[in-house]
Amino acid sequence: MSASPEVVVIGGGPAGCTAATLIAQKGHSVRLFEREKFPRFHIGESFMPDTYFALRRLGMLDKMKSSHFVKKYSVQFANDQGKESQPFYFFENNPHECTQTWQVLRSEFDHMMLKNAREHGVDAREEARVLDVLFDGDKQTGIRVQYADGGEEVLHPKVIVDASGQSSLISNKQKLRVPDAKLKKATVWSYFKGAKREPDKLDEGATLVLQLKEKKGWFWYIPQHNDTISVGVVGGLDYIFADKNASLEEIFWREVDNCAAVKRRIEGSERVDVWRTTKDFSYRSTRFAGDGWVLVGDAFGFLDPIYSSGLQLAFSSGTFAADAVCDGLANGDLSEKQLGGWGPVFLKGMERLKKFVYIYYDGFNFGLFIRRYPHMKRHVTDLLIGNVFKDSLDEVWEPLYEVQREINGQKPDAVLLG
Ligand SMILES: Cc1cc2nc3c(=O)[nH]c(=O)nc-3n(C[C@H](O)[C@H](O)[C@H](O)COP(=O)(O)OP(=O)(O)OC[C@H]3O[C@@H](n4cnc5c(N)ncnc54)[C@H](O)[C@@H]3O)c2cc1C
């Protein structure tokens, strides 16, 4: 048995490590439980530039700068005809060092984050699975955790930060999780050595988003270090698994044949990992917090992989929540209002990204939009950077819908919920 810390964080991914580190930096006792032994595999390898500000607060910036992770300066799109847009260089908006970001191997990056949390005083326990969060009505009253040796313990922290990712422990238990009916997607991916990458330093680390024929979905093409490229196809769940007998390998190569831009890049390369798949990953919770608990990162919700926004949302919710927890501990207020007060601003940002995701799946054409509205490029770049928590962005929607109507004769079903 050990004394209960002030704060328990469930999950040692980016959201959990962000919240834990920032709360510990303020001198509070924080214990983090992670069910896996790190390093462990995880998807989600491409950063948005605005993660810079969280990385700086966490003390991770110098570690990233001296890492071997590939530098990312832009995102580039190819349409269903294989026509490639100009790269969206992040520095065109703002010539600050934050506009260069990274493509990481998550097993390595997440391990760095966990070690960094420990350096800041977090008591991080691996192979420690949270079995249950205990409630009295809406108030959390404790947490039950199981260690690798099978031993169990119940702790009674003042605050629980749920950062359990797609497991969404509290959200599932309290029935807060709502799937996104418009984003019922699936993906198949693997890793390739020797696939083509741009020779130029500025472009070699670009994320490529390459649309399938007839806009049935898209490939991500994410260059990593060690000559490895992460390549995955995303499409409607029913479309990807239309042939129930097809193996993951067959599905992947079937879709490569539907995407000339990826085909010419991976021809002749060698697959260096197993085939991987996941599905139905888009959802969000109806609340951010309750009495003594708060949700961050994927444990609150996940949008869609198209713009690589998951980490930015994990870092920013982790940061918002950490500040709310510290203020709440300082003034003795651990109510829902205090712990989740940041929710509306965060949700507005997330909903802006969601509108932009819907627009893509409704057949958006980046090249056409920028030709028609060149002065709106900075807003599109802001969305791609993750600089989404500002109302001035909202002037982009009408022009976007205008072009969208021209493309497919209808207004997309994208409503700002926040
Ligand atoms: C196909 C796909 C591609 C993606 N690509 C990108 C991308 O390119 N860029 C990007 O930014 N995002 C991407 N994402 C999203 C990204 O993976 C997530 O948004 C991000 O990992 C969220 O971080 P997190 O800390 O909230 O959750 P996670 O990283 O999932 O961390 C949660 C942690 O909690 C632990 N845990 C779970 N349950 C328990 C328990 N009961 N007890 C103890 N520990 C527990 C897990 O082991 C895990 O380590 C992608 C997602 C998908 C599905």
- The pLDDT, as a whole number, for residue 406 is 87
Q: What backbone torsions phi and psi does residue 287 show, to the nearest 5 degrees?
A: -140, 160
The answer to whether 248 and 277 are in contact (CB under 8 A) is yes
pTM of the model: 0.96
Question: What distance in Å separates the CA atoms of residue 210 and residue 215, rounded to the nearest whole number?
Answer: 10
Question: Which of 9, 35, 126, 294 has the most ligand 1 atoms within 8 A of CB, as the residue to mutate?
Answer: 35
Nearest ligand 1 atom, CA 187: 1
Which positions ≥6 away from 122 have C-beta within 8 Å?
9, 17, 20, 21, 24, 30, 31, 32
Q: Annotate 308-346 with b (16+ C-beta within 10 A) or e (fewer).
A: bbbbbbbbbbbbbbbbbbbebbeeeebebebbbbbbeeb
Fold match flag (7-69+104-179+282-341 vs 185-279): no
Q: Which CATH superfamily, name and number, covers 7-69+104-179+282-341?
A: FAD/NAD(P)-binding domain (3.50.50.60)
SS3 247: coil
CB distance 42 to ligand 1 below 6 Å: yes
Ligand 1 atom showing the smallest separation from residue 110 Cα: 29
Gap from CA of 47 to ligand 1 centroid (Å):
13
Nearest CA to ligand 1 atom 2: 305
Residue 389 DSSP SS3: coil
Give the pLDDT score at 93: 82
Ligand 1 center to 332 CA (angstroms): 31
| Residue 91, amino acid | F
Per-residue pLDDT tens digits of the chain, which is 418 residues long: 578 999 999 999 999 999 999 999 999 999 999 999 999 999 999 999 999 999 999 999 999 999 999 999 999 999 999 888 889 999 988 889 999 999 999 999 999 999 999 999 999 999 999 999 999 999 999 999 999 999 999 999 999 999 999 999 999 999 999 999 999 999 999 999 999 999 899 999 999 999 999 999 999 999 999 999 999 999 999 999 999 999 999 999 999 999 999 999 999 999 999 999 999 889 999 999 999 999 999 999 999 999 999 999 999 999 999 999 999 999 999 999 999 999 999 999 999 999 999 999 988 888 889 999 999 999 999 999 999 999 999 999 999 999 988 887 765 454 333 2
Which helix (H) or strand (E) segment holds residue 130: the answer is: strand 129-136
CB 388 within 8 A of CB 418: no
Half-sphere exposure of 55 (CA within 13 A, CB side): 22
Nearest CA to 304 out of 255, 235, 378 is that of: 235
Q: How far is the CA of 42 from the centre of ligand 1 (A)?
A: 7
Domain spans in the chain, listed from the N-terminal domain onward: 7-69+104-179+282-341, 185-279, 346-408
Residue 265: C-alpha distances to residues 160, 186, 367 (Å) = 46, 22, 21
CATH topology of domain 185-279: D-Amino Acid Oxidase; Chain A, domain 2 (3.30.9)
Distance CA 316, CA 348 (A): 13
